[in-house]
Structure 1
Amino acid sequence: MVEKVVLVSLQSGYLFIQTDKTIYTPGSTVLYRIFTVDHKLLPVGRTIVVSIETPDGIPIKRDTLSSQNQFGIVPLSWNIPELVNMGQWKIRAQYENSPQQVFSAEFEVKEYAAPTPALTLVLPSFEVLVEPAEKFYYIDDPNGLEVSITAR
């Protein structure tokens, strides 16, 4: 009897999700792309399921797409509504034939807060040198105290 060991891998590949920014404002557009690669990190053309979830974990958008280009890249975008929950949103993706393996990326939605202007003065350093005209000063001197002031 000949026995042969066959390794079976459930790993169908990887999905890398990349957004153009990490923080967005309501009404802006999230540009993102998904890289579809196999277990050797080579581009692969497979069907993927992509969803966008609210900070509460509620899926609000779901698409089934195929990466049929030679680079295995799926470019996508999503317009954030004006009235939207603030917080950490999530893009989730998985291969259609491997729903147990989910890949995700997060982005934050928050109102734009203009920075408060602050005035900071940075003055150059300098040295002030005060030199008396005489080595000694007499209180009753009618000429007073004469000094030379130099700033460098």
Structure 2
Amino acid sequence: MGQCEWVWEAAGGGTQGLLYKHLCLLLIQPKRPARNMWSCALTLCLLLTAFPGGDPAPPDPKYMLLVPTVLHGGSEEKFCLLLSHLNESVVVTLTMGLERQNETLLEKQVMEKEDDSCVTFMTPKLDAPEVAYLTLLVDGDSLHFTSRRSVLIKPVQNLVFVQTDKPIYKPGQKVQFRIVSLDENFYPVSEKFPAVYITDPQGNRISQWLNVELKKGLTQEFFQLSPEPTLGTYSLIVEREKGAPVTHSFSVEEYVLPKYEVQVKLPATLTILGQEVPVTVCGRYTYGKPVLGRINVRVCRKFSDRYNLCQGEEDGVCEEISQRADPNGCISDVVNTKVFQMRRAGYEMKIIASAKITEDGTGVLGGCSWEPNEQ
């Protein structure tokens, strides 16, 4: 199969003209021009496509300024400036302008084509948020450009939290509270408050603490309620040297035990052939939440003649269940009917179930009973 042999002659002499993007002259000297002329010509076209001649245009100078859009007053901040493809020596200036003052953050001469620098600076202390304008000026013999952008400077404000040991108090109880101060990174910081005071539901100031200083970001105080205070919502207010006060509310109420009901569910109809009686008991407060505690259930079949019973004798046959309520305030179980002797005479033809719930924490008892229909 024929082969092509190439002889390269660079214009102006030398075989390295192509490497330096000079115009090249390509002479083709095929050994067998008749058979290989088209393949050699195709190869020539590919080579001319792969090695174009001419110098590309130099890239334009570019810059990139990185700075947060929100700065914190009176703290260290940082900006970074990147300059690239400079074709001459320039002087770079970055200024920050506010309503009452201007500050030069950077001023230097750049002689290299590339420059990358980050600068730390202090922001001014402010009493209120203010918009500042950053102006970047790059000035050279033939290169001049200016850029201006806005940033927001916010005064540093610590986070203040007020907590009470519980949300509701009874008359005569002690109200214990704490004040916590944290910076924006959630580290405790010392802070001084001109006044901390408590107001009653009518807005009267009933107790106060002056010049409260937080050491290591925490302080704790207490307030003793009177035996007959005004019932309602009280406010604990922390005044700050700068910024809005912090308010926390708590209630003083006469404690009333919450009411709840007990629901017992059995099948509406029982037969003498049934071997099990499913029983479900639930406790619900009047506002819908479940009652947590221990549930005791008593399922009985009474004697039909209870007038001839001796003192202390049971008036029927009973089965008992005692379980803790699940998170929904319920228990479910089954009772074997064998103990009730369903085919035997002398018993009432019905099953009675009664249940009691002992509420966790208070020990309050609540209960009810339920009877299915007679068969």
CA deviation string 1:23-71 (max 9, x = no partner):
1111110011000122332211111121111123332222220012x2x
Inter-CA distance 117–9: structure 2 relative to 1 (3 Å threshold): closer
Aligned partner of 2:180 among 21, 35, 41: 35
- Length-normalised TM-score, structure 2: 0.31
Q: CA deviation at 1:10?
A: 3.5
Aligned residues between the structures: 129
1:108 and 2:251 equivalent?
A: yes
1:50 aligned partner: 196
- Length-normalised TM-score, structure 1: 0.69
Cα distance in 1 for residues equivalent to 2:184 and 2:205 = 28
Give ranges in structure 1 of 5+ residues lacking alignment.
133-144, 146-152
1:20 aligned partner: 165
Give 1 or 2: higher strand fraction: 2
Inter-CA distance 10–54: structure 2 relative to 1 (3 Å threshold): farther
1:122 and 2:297 equivalent?
A: yes
Cα distance in 2 for residues equivalent to 1:34 and 1:102 = 13
Flag the structure with larger Rg.
2
| Equivalent pair of 1:50/1:62 in contact (CA under 8 Å) | yes
Q: CA deviation at 1:9?
A: 1.8
Corresponding letter in the other structure for 2:226: P
| Equivalent pair of 1:15/1:94 in contact (CA under 8 Å) | no
Cα distance in 1 for residues equivalent to 2:155 and 2:231 = 36
Structure 1 stretches of at least 4 aligned residues deviating more than 6 Å after TM superposition: 116-120
> Which secondary structure state, in structure 1, belongs to the residue aligned with residue 161 of structure 2?
strand
Give 1 or 2: higher helix fraction: 2
1:61 and 2:204 equivalent?
A: no
Relative contact order: is structure 1 or structure 2 higher (C-alpha 8 Å, sep ≥ 6)?
1
Cα distance in 1 for residues equivalent to 2:94 and 2:296 = 84
**Identity over aligned residues, as a percent?**
23
Corresponding letter in the other structure for 2:188: P
